[in-house]
Structure 1
Amino acid sequence: MSAPELSWESAPGHGEEVRYAVDGRLGRVRLNRPRAINALDRASVDSLQTQLSAWAEDPAIEAVFIDGEGERGLCAGGDVRALHEAITQGDYQVAEDYWAAEYAVNALIADYPKTFVAWMDGFVMGGGVGVSAHGSLRLATERTKVAMPETTIGLFPDVGGLWFLARAEGELGTHAALTGAPVGGADAVVLGMADAVVRSDAKEELLEALRAYPGLTAAELPAGLLAEPEQSWLKDNQAWIDECYAGDDAGAIIDRLMASDVAEAREAGALIQTKSPHSVAVTLEALRRAASMDVHQVLEQDTVLGRAFARHPDFAEGIRAQLIDKDRNPRWSDGSVADISREQVLANFDS
């Protein structure tokens, strides 16, 4: 069955935020908020939980394939705009309930009993990583831009993303977590968030291969689907990344970056200094802890941290500056990472 013949529908009892179709032995998932680059609002999350749970038990569905409507990307992240009004009015439960629902979907995908294929074309950020990188076949393209940019809005890399970043080679994951900078497909593979880089125009060829063999793995991808090899920026810069990002002291990391003879290191240090100091300090601690956790323990840690971050003023301020007023001039609670004590960092893990 070709894609134009598919009958796309909403999940039972849900709206058009996500649409679904049965494509032979494949269950097709399409995030359907293209004007927001398919950002995940609560309705989207609840829809995914309903349909993915149903397909997990449906013997007629042997694999699931997720992509995003429109040309801009799979998913730009969670719809934190919807949380801003609630938390500024002191209603933190809205945020906590949203994250609980979102993390439940992330856990469902991580444990999915069938092949879960993510088409990671274009932007894949924050919550978009949560509905793709936990799958069993994660395919970036030459157009992919993957990021966990949460320190920019006074949050931390959640949706279980720290599980991947803590396991990346050397300190490459630390760089990605603290800077929030987007990386391309080759670097997504290096970070463990993707399995291969395929041609962005090869989706229909891939789907045809999946229809024939729903259990397809990265090692079994037809060579013709693969994109031209890309150079990994992270690997090319690993020497200074490993040197500068070592240790558990965020202030010392920034100092080493700013004192480096490497221009890219100084640029990274300057970038981190624009982020929420609270976010940077807590993210580093959470990343180090995630190294000894399984993915479900990381999601549990995310839940605990979410309660603390919802109540910290930097989260509301970061959303305001980045997404509401868009002045890109957040007024963070702390002047620098050096102003944050160890006790303040640890308090976030006890909330």
Structure 2
Amino acid sequence: MTEAVLSEVEGLTVSQVGHMGRLVLDRPRKLNALDAGLARGISAVLDVWRDDDSVQVVLIESSSPRAFCAGGDLRAIREALLADGPERAFALMDRAYDTMRQLAAYPKPVVSFLDGITMGGGVGLGCHVPWRVVTERSVLAMPETGIGLVPDAGGSWLLSRTQGLAGLRLALTGGRMDAGQAVAMGLADIHAPSETLDSLRDALAHTLPAQVFASMQEQGAAGLALPPVLEQCYAAASVAEVIERLQSCPLPEARQDLEDMGRASPFSLEAAWHGWHRARALETLEAVFEVERELVQHVLERPDIAEGIRARLVDRDNAPLWQPARLEDIPAHALHDLRAL
């Protein structure tokens, strides 16, 4: 029955082994980019399995060790944006958000194998579930400011739950986490060697995750402490002040942060700053998703996202022409509208 529901969904393989329902993302050439069709397919099978007593646990993973999911299908979003406008582009993104929220609230245990690249929408797909496994091949990030977008997919919830300001730093710079850092930051639970994934999968087919991972779960402090001087740079009142403090910071990490933010859309930096602080003050993932949805709709009205995707993924010249090109040139009314969201 389940296979029939998804028999025509491109890029998704569905099976049941023992009491485990298995969802395998299978778009390796696109690094499992999540589009509306794939999101809709995942939702359909989750609906079936929710009421199927023979399925006790769900596993979501990739067919390729290169990537779990590199994010949303940004090319498709740009095409929709240019052809049909912001509302259509947002509808595609919002369909994926619905699937992420469904996974986060799913009544049965869900396990994600975050093996390989896990960024943006991939974080939203795999990091809101109860059991998240990373390997030595895992690379996690929310790199949205570099394409003119804003941390979304519930990413600002995850990055705002950590101790200190390391999450704010990652939201602004799009910095990457390895497996150990992802566990420390609270985006993953289990750091396992990639060669053990087959045995873990076999165990999940007949044993519940709490038992499978009982001796493996790493109880991190949900925080990756920054050096005090770097932490102080991010304890600022604005993005502009963060940059000013980084310019005076002697640490090499500060130089790298300035380079990363220098490549980002200035308006996206402001939106990421606002989104992170809003998320920090909210108490539920659902509430954060609503804030992110408003921010995404807002930035889709601006030219930076189409330009960012062009520069990073279409023409690959890595030379986006942001509008405006500098933080100080963002009109006061634009900042007022952003902060009113």
**Band the TM-score falls in, shorter-chain normalisation:** over 0.9
Cross-structure match for 2:69: 75
Out of 13, 24, 49, which is 2:18 matched to?
A: 24
- Pair 1:200-2:181 in alignment: no
Could you state the TM-score of these two structures normalised by the residue count of structure 2?
Answer: 0.93
What is the alpha-carbon distance in structure 2 between the residues aligned to residue 313 and residue 16 of structure 1? 31
Structure 1 gap ranges (5+): 1-7, 227-231
In 1, distance between residues paired with 2:281 and 2:319?
36
In structure 2, give the amino acid aligned to 1:308.
Answer: H
Match of 1:324 in 2: 314
Q: Is the 8 A contact 1:11 1:20 kept in 2?
A: no
Is the 2:70–2:120 contact (alpha carbons within 8 Å) kept by the matching residues of 1?
yes
User: 8 Å contact 1:154–1:318 — kept in the other structure?
Assistant: yes
Do the aligned partners of 1:19 and 1:30 also contact (CA within 8 Å) in 2? Answer: yes
Matches of 2:20 and 2:233 in 1, distance apart? Answer: 45
Summarize deviations over 1:63-94 as a string: whole Å, max 9, x none.
11111122211001000100112212352222
| Partner of residue 251, structure 1 | 240
Q: Residue 309 in 1 paired to residue 299 in 2?
A: yes
* 1:92 aligns to 2:86 (yes or no): yes
In structure 2, distance between residues paired with 1:296 and 1:98:
19
Amino acid at match of 1:143: R
TM-score normalised by length of structure 1: 0.90
- Structure 1 residue 217, shift from structure 2 partner: 6.2
State whether structure 2 residue 153 is matched by structure 1 residue 153.
no
For the Cα contact (< 8 Å) 1:305–1:349, is it kept in 2? no
The CA distance in 1 between the partners of 2:228 and 2:287, in whole Å, is 30
Q: Which amino acid aligns with 1:277?
A: P
Query: Alignment partner of 1:169: what SS?
Result: coil
Q: Contact 2:274–2:339 (CA<8 Å) still a contact in 1?
A: no
Q: CA deviation at 1:302?
A: 1.6
**Structure-to-structure mapping, 1:133-212, within 5 angstroms:** 133-212=127-206
1:107 alignment partner in structure 2:
101
Structure 2 runs not aligned, ≥5 long: none
Work out the number of aligned pairs and report it: 337
Contact 1:66/1:119, CA 8 A, preserved across alignment: yes
Find the counterpart in structure 2 of residue 3 from structure 1. none
- State the Cα deviation string for residues 287-318 of structure 1 (Å, max 9, x = none): 00101221001111121112111111001100
State the partner residue of 2:230. Answer: 241
Match for residue 325 of structure 2 among 318, 325, 335: 335
Question: Where does 1:50-65 land on structure 2 (aligned, <5 Å)?
Answer: 50-65=44-59
Tell me which amino acid in the other structure corresponds to 2:236.
G
Aligned-residue Cα RMSD (Å) equals 2.2
Q: What is the alpha-carbon distance in structure 2 between the residues aligned to residue 297 and residue 341 of structure 1? A: 28
The C-alpha deviation readout for 1:23-69, integer Å capped at 9, x for no partner, is: 11001011110001111111111111111122122111111111112
Identity level (%) = 33
**2:32, 2:70 within 8 Å by CA — same for their partners in 1?**
yes
Residue type matched to 2:275 in 1?
A: A
- Do structure 1's residue 276 and structure 2's residue 288 form an aligned pair? no
Moved over 3 A (4+): 8-14, 232-235, 348-351
Aligned to 1:4: none
Displacement of 1:9: 4.5
For the residue of structure 1 that corresponds to 2:126, the secondary structure is: coil
C-alpha displacement of 1:279? 0.2
- Write the distance in 1 (CA, Å) between the matches of 2:155 and 2:37: 22
Distance 1:301 1:217, change over 3 A: farther
User: 8 Å contact 1:196–1:218 — kept in the other structure?
Assistant: no
Shift of residue 145, structure 1, vs aligned partner: 0.3
Amino acid at match of 1:302: E
Distance change >3 Å, CA 298–CA 233, structure 1 → 2: closer
> Equivalent residue of 1:38, what SS?
coil
Per the TM alignment, residue 189 of structure 1 is displaced from its structure 2 partner at its CA by 1.2
Hey, what does 1:266 align to over in structure 2? 255
d(CA) in 1 for partners of 2:279, 2:198: 37
